[in-house]
Amino acid sequence: MSTITQSMDFVEITLDGRAIRVPEGTSVFDAARMNGTPIPTLCHLQNETPVGVCRLCVVDTGGRVLTASCVRPVEAGMKVVTNSDKVLNARKTVLELLMADHPSPCARQEKSGDCELETLAKAAGVAQPRFAKRTLSRGKDDSSLAIAVDHDACILCDRCIRGCDEIKNNFVLGRMGKGYSAGIAFDLNAPMGDSTCISCGECMVSCPTGALTNKTVLGTSIAAGKDTQGFEAEELLQLPVFKGVSGTFLELNRGAIVKRRFRAGEIICREGEFGSTAFYVLEGKARVSLSAPIAHVKTEGGGKGLFKKLTSSLAARDTDVRDGEARDKTIPIDASVDLAYGNPVAELGPGDLFGEMTCMNFYPRSATVIAETDVVAFEMLRNVLDIMMKNKSFRAQIDQNYRRRALENHLRGVPMFADLSPDFIEHLKGSVELRRYAPGQVIAQQGDTARSFYLVRIGFVKVSETYPGGELVLAYLSRGDYFGEIGLLGGGVRTASCTALDHVEVVRIPGDDFREMVERFPSVRQGLEAVAAERQAANQQRMQTVQSVPIDQFLSQGLMEAQSLLILDLQNCTRCDACVNACADAHDGITRLVREGLRFDQFLVATSCRQCRDPLCMVGCPVGSIRRRNSLEVIIEDWCIGCGLCARNCPYGNINLHPFEVMVEDLERPGRKKAVVKQKATSCDLCTHLKEPSCVYACPHDAAHRVDPRTFFSEMLGGGTK
């Protein structure tokens, strides 16, 4: 504007018969607006370069065709008509065309009643569009945590694109395709949540319709307490992590981030509790620890007198060694540090972020955090965390934190990597990269060239292999687990696909570094090769099993997956519940058997862990304490915090919680101990300590059997009976 006032060259034009003077270079649109004749538009915003694509701002300047006033500078003597029937009718038809394809009321109209298209259409008197509606939907994109995308409501006005490029210089959004099927796309047409979008919100703020709208996050406001302090958008924009974020967008998400003050000794969060927020420590020190006893459920007794003296107790792995138990030295938790198995306590300070898994994936809290000194922290919901995690400087800081503090423990925690020399770990600190993946995103694709080795930092990774006719889940990996070694050690090609199951963050170790590692440290190589061989053997065995059994109900129920099943012959069973009672008697009164389950033919397949094809129980364990042995049986590691998520996840009800009364430190009164009930997850152990499962033994009607399903049902399957 300054150049205009400086030059002071004015041009005289006629606007609807009225002579007006405007500075040279003014657009017809602005000339009309400044003289009290606003012209409707959808694609034009004052802060963006005009593009003239919606054609609503057309005016008659006496030419063969009408002209878009937003892109047309005034010329001396120009006669502009903005309100003739010719102009108004053309505009109305353009609106009617857009309304025909518009999902009215769109998300914006529904939420805030300010869809610009619907408003203009109504003002122009477009009621029911006479043109046919769009037949093929262009789809919705729900992948972003902050912004909902409805491609059907997109009118390709280009405002979001200019907002992303011109205003925020983020260069994520563009037009894709051509003609009627054209649309907006992120990067190479990635889902918004998987794209390089940093959720600055500018596109959404620029959008005139419901194509890009603010996603309301469940419980969008964090309850304000006396120690809570909300933020004004301007205040947040001062912080480096919100650089480049649209102020309007933060305004819309007000309440999704608060600053909280915890007094020394105050509990910030407790293990096992559900939550939806993450914390970022600004000031002070906090202590993170596990209060659950580090032990597993051990059932003893019986022997000769069978279920007379069966008792369950808690035992740690150094006193009660179980087959296939992990020897990890650290317990993975939802923070920037891991806890030592022997002494599960650590300190968090300024710059530490914790509760990320809970916030992003809604898993229970993995540990208890107590303010050691007075602590000031941000508490935020996932949409805000998402924005912060996409911010380059914040990411760099988190990255730095991880390299400095956690990488070494992360590697050393896996016994296999124990021999890595300090200098090599130092070297890795410089070359590893933290990468985030959205749910469903493929990290490594079966058949692709293997280029990296990965350690899981946050979330769950599904390892699966495709075979003609389906997909076989080989494993779920969580924090502390690693993958990618088979491809790198073997033929250089990925043998399985690794997919993010939820919001996942992995530590990527480049292939070259991995190769250097296995060359320099033969013990690491041997360890990795041994595990790789075991994994492959197990995978092959499972794959053969899958492929040798016809795909039918039997398979779909996952029964063949089990090596051992407990079945109840319903023709003999009188529903007397003797089996259930026997189980309870055998396990301290806690039954692990529920006489319900899937039915196959005349058999009720009662609960007993069947080592499923898709072991859903493992997904979400906040501390990664439910794992698979190489025999594929599930084992609950000592650091189970008893949150119960696995029990809820198991579709067959095979995991139960066993309560114990234990003495723990009283968090409210430091230094004192108190008796509390802590739970530990257990699954049916088929009474391995007994000759025969107690339920089978107890059945008075010979209805309960423990069988190998493939032999037992082979006749039926072979015979083709149902």
Partner 1 sequence: MIFDDLRTIQLRYGFLPKADLEGLSQRTNTPLYQIHSVASFYPHFQLTPPPKADIRVCADMSCHLNGACELRAELETRFAKNGSDDVLIREVSCLGRCDHAPAVSINDEIFTKVTAASAERIARSAIAGEEIPEPHLEHGRVQCASDPYDENARYGVVRKLAETKNWDGVLAELKAAELRGMGGAGFPTSMKWDLVRKQPGTEKYIVCNADESEPGTIKDRFIMTHLPHLVIEGMIVAGLVTGAKRGILYIRHEYHLQEEILGEELRRCYHGGILGKNILGSDLIFDLEIFVSPGGYICGEESALIEAIEGKRAEPRNKPPFPGQAGLWQKPTVINNVETFANVPQILARGVEWFKTQGQAGSRGLKFVGVSGHVTRPGIFEVPMGTPMREVIFRHAGGIRGGRQLKAFAPSGPSSGYLPASMVDVRLDFKALADAGSMLGSGAIVVCDDTTCMLDMTLNAVRFYRNESCGKCVPCRVGSQKMTELLVRWTHGGLTEKQYRADLGLVEELCAAMSLTSICGLGQIVPAPVQSVLKHFREEMDAHVLKGLCPSGICFSASARAGEVQRVGIRP
Nearer to partner 1, 70 or 353 (CB): 70
Nearer to partner 1, 27 or 109 (CB): 27
Stretch that binds partner 1, among 181-189, 262-270, 419-427, 701-709 (CB under 8 A): 181-189
Stretch that binds partner 1, among 62-70, 118-126, 230-238, 702-710 (CB under 8 A): 62-70
Residue 89 CB, nearest distance to partner 1 (Å)?
A: 7
Distances (CA, A) of 187 to 68, 141, 161, 343: 30, 14, 12, 46
Q: Which of 156, 239, 282, 543 binds partner 1 (CB under 8 A)?
A: 156
Can residue 440 be called a binding residue for partner 1 (CB under 8 A)? no
Of 55, 48, 20, nearest to 34 (Cα)?
20
Asked if the bond preceding 293 is cis, omega within 30° of 0, the reply is no
Nearer to partner 1, 105 or 183 (CB): 183
Nearer to partner 1, 173 or 584 (CB): 173
Residue 511 CB, nearest distance to partner 1 (Å)?
A: 15
Of 178, 209, 221, nearest to 43 (Cα)?
209
Residue 253 CB, nearest distance to partner 1 (Å)?
A: 25
Residue 42 CB, nearest distance to partner 1 (Å)?
A: 8
Q: Which two tokens mark 329?
A: 């030295």
Can residue 166 be called a binding residue for partner 1 (CB under 8 A)? no
Can residue 635 be called a binding residue for partner 1 (CB under 8 A)? no
Q: Check residue 41 and report its DSSP letter.
A: -
Can residue 138 be called a binding residue for partner 1 (CB under 8 A)? no
Q: Which two tokens mark 567?
A: 């079945």
Stretch that binds partner 1, among 143-151, 166-174, 498-506, 688-696 (CB under 8 A): 166-174
Q: Which two tokens mark 685?
A: 């152990």
Buried b (16+ CB within 10 A) or exposed e, 595-620: bebbebeebbbbbbbbbbbbbebbbb
Question: Would you give the end-to-end CA distance of the chain in angstroms?
Answer: 81
Q: What phi and psi, each to the nearest 5 degrees, are found at residue 186?
A: -100, 130
Q: Which of 178, 226, 672, 722 binds partner 1 (CB under 8 A)?
A: 178
| Total residue length of the chain | 722
Residue 26 CB, nearest distance to partner 1 (Å)?
A: 15
Q: Which of 72, 108, 494, 508 binds partner 1 (CB under 8 A)?
A: 72
**Maximum alpha-carbon separation in the chain:** 111
Can residue 431 be called a binding residue for partner 1 (CB under 8 A)? no
Residue 79 CB, nearest distance to partner 1 (Å)?
A: 16
Spatial neighbors of 443 by CB under 8 A, at least 6 apart, are: 435, 437, 454, 461, 498, 499, 500, 504, 506
Residue 546 CB, nearest distance to partner 1 (Å)?
A: 25
Secondary-structure percent of the chain, ordered helix, strand, coil, rounded to 5: 30, 25, 45
Vertex 473 angle, CA 557 and 489, to 5° = 155
Q: What phi and psi, each to the nearest 5 degrees, are found at residue 488?
A: -75, -35
Q: Which of 112, 171, 674, 688 binds partner 1 (CB under 8 A)?
A: 171
Can residue 172 be called a binding residue for partner 1 (CB under 8 A)? yes
Residues 184-203 as x/- pattern, contact with partner 1 by CB under 8 A: -xxxxx------x-------
Residue 634 CB, nearest distance to partner 1 (Å)?
A: 37
Stretch that binds partner 1, among 60-68, 119-127, 238-246, 389-397 (CB under 8 A): 60-68
Can residue 180 be called a binding residue for partner 1 (CB under 8 A)? yes
Q: Which of 38, 113, 182, 522 binds partner 1 (CB under 8 A)?
A: 182
Q: Hey, is 271 helix, strand or coil?
A: coil
Q: Which of 19, 65, 76, 677 binds partner 1 (CB under 8 A)?
A: 65
Nearer to partner 1, 54 or 438 (CB): 54
Of 281, 234, 227, 229, nearest to 255 (Cα)?
229
Nearer to partner 1, 45 or 411 (CB): 45
Rama region for 406: left / alpha / beta (φ>0; ψ in -120 to 50; rest): alpha
Residue 24 CB, nearest distance to partner 1 (Å)?
A: 15
Of 524, 309, 516, 329, nearest to 409 (Cα)?
329
Cα gap 417→577, rounded to integer Å: 50
Residue 58 CB, nearest distance to partner 1 (Å)?
A: 5
Q: Which two tokens mark 596?
A: 């319900």
Q: Which two tokens mark 575?
A: 């529903």
Amino acid occupying residue 72? R
Can residue 533 be called a binding residue for partner 1 (CB under 8 A)? no
According to CB under 8 A, which residues from 319 to 338 bind partner 1? none
Cα gap 434→403, rounded to integer Å: 9
Residue 392 CB, nearest distance to partner 1 (Å)?
A: 15
Cα gap 191→197, rounded to integer Å: 10
Asked if the bond preceding 615 is cis, omega within 30° of 0, the reply is no
Can residue 55 be called a binding residue for partner 1 (CB under 8 A)? yes
Can residue 155 be called a binding residue for partner 1 (CB under 8 A)? yes
Looking at the DSSP assignment, which residues form a beta bridge with residue 437?
504
Spatial neighbors of 326 by CB under 8 A, at least 6 apart, are: 627, 637
Q: Which of 34, 90, 442, 531 binds partner 1 (CB under 8 A)?
A: 90
Nearer to partner 1, 72 or 592 (CB): 72
Spatial neighbors of 530 by CB under 8 A, at least 6 apart, are: none
Contact between residue 302 and residue 312 where contact means Cβ atoms under 8 Å apart: no
Stretch that binds partner 1, among 94-102, 370-378, 464-472, 562-570 (CB under 8 A): 94-102
Q: What phi and psi, each to the nearest 5 degrees, are found at residue 48?
A: -125, 155
Can residue 47 be called a binding residue for partner 1 (CB under 8 A)? no
Can residue 179 be called a binding residue for partner 1 (CB under 8 A)? yes
Can residue 177 be called a binding residue for partner 1 (CB under 8 A)? yes
Of 433, 436, 453, 434, nearest to 500 (Cα)?
436
Q: Report CA torsion sign: 102, 103, 105, 109.
A: negative
Can residue 66 be called a binding residue for partner 1 (CB under 8 A)? yes
Q: Which of 123, 176, 345, 533 binds partner 1 (CB under 8 A)?
A: 176
Stretch that binds partner 1, among 21-29, 86-94, 371-379, 460-468 (CB under 8 A): 86-94
Nearer to partner 1, 448 or 708 (CB): 448
Residue 182 CB, nearest distance to partner 1 (Å)?
A: 3
Nearer to partner 1, 429 or 451 (CB): 451
Q: Which of 13, 78, 98, 124 binds partner 1 (CB under 8 A)?
A: 98
The count of chain residues that interact with partner 1, using the rule CB under 8 A, is: 46
HEC profile of 510-556: EHHHHHHHHHHCHHHHHHHHHHHHHHHHHHHHHHHHHHHCCCCHHHH
Q: Report CA torsion sign: 413, 415, 421, 426.
A: negative
Stretch that binds partner 1, among 170-178, 258-266, 475-483, 575-583 (CB under 8 A): 170-178
Rg (CA), the chain: 32
Can residue 68 be called a binding residue for partner 1 (CB under 8 A)? yes
Can residue 466 be called a binding residue for partner 1 (CB under 8 A)? no
Binding site for partner 1 (CB under 8 A): 51-56, 58, 65-66, 68, 71-72, 86, 89-91, 93-94, 97-98, 100-101, 130-132, 135, 155-156, 171-182, 185-189, 196
